[in-house]
Amino acid sequence: MQGHDFLTGQEFSVAETRKLIELAEAVKKSPPAYQHALEGKTLAMVFQKTSTRTRMSFEVGMKQLGGHVVYMDWRQTNLVLGDLQDEVKCMARYADLIVARVNEHADLKAMAMASDKPVINGLCNLYHPCQGLADMLTVKEKLGSFKGKKLAFVGDGNNVCHSLLIEGALLGLRLSVASPKGFEPDQGIVEWAQGLTEVEVCREPAKAVEDADVVYTDTWVSMGQEAGVQQKVKAFQGYQVQAQLVPRKALFMHCLPAHRNCEVTNEVLDGKNSVVFDQAENRLHAQKALLLVLGGCVG
């Protein structure tokens, strides 16, 4: 896995993905064992979009592994003036790893082509694979295994949904998605996931959550889509995750930030089955494992 980019999650095999989750568990259990692993290495973080969890978890994680971090706001660099690939080639001369949080996946692909160092997707319009890794670590931690377990996603078939389909399929979860017409996940990603596991896409949230071990939702209005908020909220009427929708023993997950009492009620978000803050913490541990692997410190 050393030297890979991590743009969608599909770069890793089933076996490699399982090893990555196992490493994340080990890193979480014994942080001191890895505290010097990336000593002398530098992570460049290039962010075109705002961030709380992605930025803080990568910065803290890299420092806990003994490395250094350089954070760059896209708007305050010459990425706004120069050629993207030229700028990235320069970054790769200074840094050992690059995390980019961008508007368009095409920019990530261009960055990966230009860089001879691993490029990690910190979020784009199509994928959020680091979130997916943390989500899978959380499922493993709470349910004990992936075998026979079902994750149901209710809401917009967006970047988070796509990464759940990819990472969930690689690890053998059964998957279901309920989205309104026009907001379904990408058909190509659905078909790819169906090549590995059972995947159902439907309109009815109640159908999607039948026998679910995990119910997951995300904001209906992603960053950069605020202009169409009223129309989108109207389209998603009936897709709010309420207490009566969630099976009694099912976990509730949300990648945050949440719009309270919009896509999910406070009762569910703050309920006893909600694991959203454990899930947020696991961004740190999952990303430390990813940095270790891509940085060549763990095979």
Q: What is this structure's pTM?
A: 0.96
| Total length of the chain | 299
Q: Is the pLDDT of residue 14 over 70?
A: yes
For CATH 3.40.50.1370, list the domain ranges present in the chain. 14-127+283-294, 129-280
Q: In this predicted model, what pLDDT tens digit does every residue of 220-235 receive, in sequence order?
A: 987 556 666 788 889 9
* Helices and strands per DSSP (H, E), number in the chain: 11, 9
Instruction: Indicate the Cα dihedral angle 179, 204, 242, 259, nearest 10°.
Output: 10
Amino acid at site 25: E
Domain covering 129-280, topology: Rossmann fold (3.40.50)
Percent of the chain past pLDDT 70, that is, above it, reads 96
When pLDDT is averaged across residues 26-30 and rounded to a whole number, the result is 98
Q: How confident is the model at residue 184 (pLDDT cuts 50, 70, 90)?
A: very high
Q: Which of 292, 11, 3, 5 is nearest to 166 (CA)?
A: 11
Give 3-state DSSP helix, strand, coil % of the chain, rounded to 5.
Answer: 45, 15, 40
For residues 177 and 153, the answer to whether their CB atoms sit within 8 Å is yes
Q: What residues are annotated to the active site?
A: 101, 128, 131, 218, 255, 283
CATH superfamily of 14-127+283-294: Aspartate/ornithine carbamoyltransferase (3.40.50.1370)
Strands 150-154 and 119-121, how do they pair?
Answer: unpaired
Q: In this predicted model, what pLDDT tens digit does every residue of 48-96 receive, in sequence order?
A: 999 999 999 999 999 999 999 999 999 999 999 999 999 999 999 999 9
